[in-house]
Structure 1
Amino acid sequence: MSFKAVVLGAAGGIGQPLSLLLKNNPLVKELALYDIVNTPGVAADLSHISTPAKVVGYLPPDDGLKKALTGADIVVIPAGVPRKPGRCSDRRDDLFKINAGIVRDLATGIATSAPKAAVLVISNPVNSTVPIVVEVFKKHGVFDPKKIFGVTTLDVVRAQTFIAEVLGDLSLASSINVPVVGGHSGVTIVPLFSQSSHALPSNYASSDLQALTTRVQFGGDEVVKAKDGAGSATLSMAYAGAEFAEKVLRALKGEKGIVAPTFVHLSSDKSGGETIKKEVGKDIDYFSAPVELGPEGVTKILSLGKLTDSEKALVEAAVPELVVSIEKGVSFIAPSKL
């Protein structure tokens, strides 16, 4: 069994390497690329690679978005404007408005042309863009909470890598299992190091653990600063997006026992969602938690498990930020904007 994958924003800094990785995935039989520029060239370039997936690039004219989406099994959305150095509130608001508008329009296309596809949202800020996609789907009467995912995998990838660095063996990184919960920005990112499959050294200081947590939470800033105005985390995000997409594809194919943290609407598993709400002490609609994936998308939302006191404090700090970000996304979608 193989699938049609679609990348919306395929000509961008995340979109191109993500498309390359999906072209190399044996579960992908057809890869449709969409962007406002350059997708025919990106598709032609990728089509020369000796893997089975057929690649076609689409532009907005002649119903390009509809053609790209028709028959899609999985849609990945990295489209949007990247972060830049600085934390000016005006800049953040401008970034949100631009990306929110882009995601709204793409979500409208998916809702009308591929409403049953699994939708993987990478576009920042994920804590707000996922609610935007959900509200658009609701307004079109096609909302299935089991099929809409916020991709938080980069936080997991960073946690794996940073733990391996502490242990002095990067060859361990891909085998480390460490849940990262909450959301996908700043203090909403909560790495649960106490549940890591590879424990940190027994003499690891609490101040070092705090620094490690902060590094996972603000790893994106590290990359933005290092690129010195030339971009944000594109290559690592593409890798993380492809990793999560592969898990979703394997689950769609029927493979059992696939679990990954992802930012979902908690109604996707009512029992698991209610457990999360009790654990975080808030009647919240979205949260990133370990999710068991299946052919229909979300099969089960897993408990956060036993948290240390410091991890409980991190969750407590994350929730108010999440509430604001979620509401920002929900309120962006109004009848006049569709």
Structure 2
Amino acid sequence: MVKAVVLGAAGGIGQPLALLLKTNPRVTELGLFDIVNTPGVAADLSHIATPAKVEGYLPPDDGLAKTLTGADIVVIPAGVPRKPGVHDLFKINAGIVHDLAVGIATTAPKAFVLVISNPVNSTVPIVAEVFKKHGVFNPKRLFGVTTLDVVRASTFVAEIIGDLSKSPNVVVPVVGGHSGVTIVPLLSQSSHPLPSSFASEKLEALTTRIQFGGDEVVKAKDGAGSATLSMAYAGAEFAAKVIDALAGKKGLVAPSYVHLDADKEGAAVLKKEIGKELDYFSTNVEIGPNGVERIIPLGKLTEYEKGLIAAAVPELTTNIEKVSCYQRPR
């Protein structure tokens, strides 16, 4: 029996994400929270014939606390999406994520927390800092959801191979962070290698497409929003692995942006590989019933991939350090 919660459940990511979680057979309760429309979303989903009982709350009358009570897993897609004219998501979304984190810390401090709200490189550290202030921080239970980068990489590689039917089985490790140059696809480790004729300029173009795939969607939507459906799919995929781990399933591996204290031994190896002391990094992790069981090393990298990581680290450092200067407006 699992209670899953979606914070930001009435939004462009939240609604399809809640739908996908409603169809997960392990979910027996689904709590939804947003500042508008949540009861209607909950009523709509409640008509779907799956085991999960659905309840939706708004802020009045301690709606956030009611939503979070008894939560096993909390997914946060809340916030403003990427779109033209919005140049600093951090300033807008940091406050939203901060307040939701306070609610989790006081009502569901032992829940697994999955952060989707952008910019993930900075919003995950915000949640961590709130949890630390409340004395409930457990690095093993806090995840930045970077699955969309892997989903995109897998799809794009399948397109190049010329067989989209293979895309569910294509696995491309993607490490670093979850924005722009901090996204580092390890294409040399793809489960389905690229053609031997794949020239270096094509490799660079593919890498750029994976790193800036979100821009492709924003442009195609012509100012109407960003990646919502693909992000909901990716978020549900990652949440399903966490839910399976809660149920006792072993050997589950998925990419996530985590605090490296989640596995200090694995982190020591990782830090040597990237050549930098960082508190957060996205890489494959093994997930178990207690959260992060193991941080998995990057493995053998090409010189090109080493260069990508070298370019990613300064940007990632800036994203993380930005949080230390953040003060929640009163």
* Matching of residue 92 in structure 1 with residue 91 in structure 2: no
**Contact 1:136/1:333 (CA < 8 Å) preserved in 2?**
no
Partner of 1:188: 182
Give the Å deviation of 1:275.
Answer: 1.1
1:275 and 2:269 aligned:
yes
Whether 1:122 aligns to 2:116 is yes
**Does residue 10 in structure 1 map to residue 9 in structure 2?**
yes
Superposed, 1:139-158 pairs within 5 Å as 139-158=133-152
What TM-score results when the alignment is normalised by the length of structure 2? 0.98
Residue 249 (structure 1) aligned to one of 243, 246, 250: 243
Q: CA deviation at 1:176?
A: 1.0
Contact kept? 1:280, 1:316, Cα under 8 Å: yes
Asked whether 1:203 is paired with 2:197, we answer yes
User: Following TM superposition, by how much is the alpha carbon of 1:333 offset from its aligned partner in structure 2, in angstroms?
Assistant: 4.7
User: Equivalent residue for 1:65?
Assistant: 64
Deviation of the 1:297 alpha carbon = 0.4
Equivalent residues, number: 330
Residue identity over aligned pairs, in percent, reads 75
- Deviation, structure 1 residue 96: 1.4
Q: Match for residue 22 of structure 2?
A: 23
Q: TM-score, normalised by structure 1?
A: 0.96
In 1, the alpha carbon distance for the partners of 2:324 and 2:72 equals 26
CA distance in 2, matches of 1:174, 1:333: 42
TM-superposed CA distance for 1:250, in Å, is 0.6
Question: Using the alignment, how far apart are the partners of 2:161 and 2:256 within structure 1?
Answer: 26
Moved over 3 A (4+): none
Name the SS for the 1:30 alignment partner: strand
Distance 2:84 2:255 in 1: 28
Task: State the Cα RMSD in Å.
Answer: 1.0
Cα deviation 1:17-63 (Å, max 9, x = unaligned): 00000000001000000000000000000000111100000000110
Q: Tell me how far apart the structure 2 counterparts of residues 290 and 122 of structure 1 sit (CA, whole Å).
A: 17
- Give a deviation string over 1:126-158, Cα, whole Å, max 9, x none: 000000000000000000000000000000000
Q: Which runs of 5+ in 1 are unaligned?
A: none
User: SS where residue 320 of structure 1 aligns?
Assistant: helix
Task: Give the aligned partner of residue 40 of structure 1.
Answer: 39
Report the AA paired with residue 78 of structure 2: A
Q: Following the alignment from structure 1 to structure 2, what is the Cα–Cα distance between the partners of residues 92 and 139? A: 29
Residue 263 (structure 1) aligned to one of 257, 263, 287: 257
Asked whether 1:314 is paired with 2:308, we answer: yes
Partner of residue 285, structure 1: 279
Once the two structures are superposed, the pairs formed by residues 50-61 of structure 1 within 5 Å of their partners are: 50-61=49-60
The superposition leaves residues 65-91 of structure 1 with CA deviations (integer Å, 9 ceiling, x where unpaired) of 0000010000000000011126xxxx4
Q: Quick one: which amino acid aligns to residue 206 of structure 1?
A: S
Deviations 1:255-294 (A, max 9, x none): 1111011000000000011111111111100000110000
**Counterpart in the other structure of 2:169:** 175
Instruction: Give 5+ residue unaligned stretches, structure 2.
Output: none
Moved more, 229-238 or 321-330: 321-330
